[in-house]
Amino acid sequence: MRTPTVLISGASIAGPALAYWLNTRGWRTTVVERFDELRDDGQNIDVRGAGREVARRMGIEDAIRAASTGETGTEFVDADGTPVARFAAGRSDSGGATAELEILRGQLSRIIVDRTRDDTEYVFGDQIVALDDGDDGDDGVTVTFAHGPTRTFDVVVVAEGLRSRTRSLVFPGVDAVRELGLYCAYLTIPRTADDTDLWRWHSAARGRSLSLRPDNVGTIRATLTFLSDVRGLDELDHDAVVTILRRTFADVGWVAPRVLSALDDAPLYFDAVGQARLPSWSSGRVALVGDAAYCSSPVSGMSTSLALTGAYILAGELAAHPHTAAFARYDAVVRPYVDQAQKLPPGTPRIANPRSRAGVGVMNTVLRIAASPAAERLGGLRSKLFTPPADAIDLPTYPTRPSVSPARAGGQQ
Ligand SMILES: Cc1cc2nc3c(=O)[nH]c(=O)nc-3n(C[C@H](O)[C@H](O)[C@H](O)COP(=O)(O)OP(=O)(O)OC[C@H]3O[C@@H](n4cnc5c(N)ncnc54)[C@H](O)[C@@H]3O)c2cc1C
């Protein structure tokens, strides 16, 4: 039988995870990444619930744990750094603002890519510019690249993240992104003696917050977050973004002066926060996976778990069914899980980023109550605040091909 082929666009989490699972099922996988090399940037991401179970089935759970950021919990502080409330890291597969499995995004990506390098063709520094599914779709998808030669694949899967460009070739005119009116600036700054292994978070009025998180490479990951109704700030150049951040956070207190003074030298990643919402995740022989299809936003703490789970299910269905049936089943199984993950608590993100001082006061009071020993005994408020619906799916089990060695298939199926 002819070996089926897939082109996957995007080499972060969803793309390499899909390649991994299709490799175990005998597909020939090619991954194209727009950047010249694997991207190491990004901060702490959570692997929770079903995503964690998929990581277990891939045999990478121990590698993730070994690369953990070492974050021991979450602490809310006021403008002079005095603790307001503290929560220990989650001890279950799903719970906690700090999940039990926290890892830097770049390190998780590398772990998965390393598991696929022997079987997957990686093409860096190129991207899709045109897709031709043919008249009847029987001959596969002909792909035109910006640089490499035109090639044909049985299936193409877009794993390009929230702002995917290829998605607009597949669904022209569809506005897939629901902006949440929140901007995030991520910086890596030197660690000092005052830093701890807690995720420390300060909410200031006017919808601004500032947080510091530990990592496993001896630096500190700082995040500056602010609400804004102005669209397109993420398209400004570096200097303009730095100017906005300095003006916005000048009076925030706590470690703001230290973080703002690092802006000239620190690696900076600035993005608008949003969700991807589409009525369908496929068209013809082309499908979407991960953030390109159903980003739930960093606010949900679920995007990486959705990406891992979605990749596992898409691969399982593609290996078992012709693409049309496989894409329909993928949608049917994953969509209810996505719907729950994308349902953010009412008022999010505004409720966690109050506009007024009084709002900050109310938020801190709620956090104090949630962190109190009485709330710990009752449990309910805390789990409402910090436990996303990471387990809200029954993970199917898919047969692997007999020719695949247990080591490559990751053990448990
Ligand atoms: C550099 C970076 C930093 C991040 N930092 C954080 C963070 O700090 N916190 C957080 O919660 N989430 C972060 N994320 C998002 C997080 O990785 C995802 O929410 C989640 O893990 C799902 O991943 P994904 O693979 O679906 O998409 P993404 O992780 O967004 O990856 C998409 C990949 O596709 C590539 N790509 C984009 N366009 C094209 C194209 N046209 N052709 C080929 N390749 C393309 C990108 O370069 C990237 O490698 C970051 C993502 C990236 C890419």
φ, ψ of residue 305 to 5 degrees: the values are -65, -40
CB atoms within 10 A of CB 1: 4
- Beta strand pairing call for 83-88 and 73-77: antiparallel
CB distance 274 to ligand 1 below 6 Å: no
CB distance 9 to ligand 1 below 6 Å: yes
How much distance in Å is there from the Cα of 160 to the middle of ligand 1? Answer: 7
Q: Is 213 left (phi over 0), alpha (psi -120 to 50) or beta?
A: beta
- Checking if the pLDDT of 114 tops 60, the result is yes
- Of the pLDDT bands very low, low, confident and very high (cuts 50, 70, 90), residue 403 is very low
Query: Which residue among 54, 105, 111, 342 is best mutated to probe the pocket of ligand 1, counting the most ligand atoms within 8 A of its Cβ?
Result: 105
How much distance in Å is there from the Cα of 93 to the middle of ligand 1? Answer: 23
Contact criterion met (CB below 8 Å) for 352 and 298: no
Write the residue with the smallest CA distance to atom 9 of ligand 1: 43
Domains and CATH numbers, the chain: 5-68+104-176+275-345 (3.50.50.60)
- Of the pLDDT bands very low, low, confident and very high (cuts 50, 70, 90), residue 370 is confident
Q: Find the range with the poorest average confidence among 210-214, 268-272, 336-340, 361-365.
A: 361-365
- Of the pLDDT bands very low, low, confident and very high (cuts 50, 70, 90), residue 131 is very high
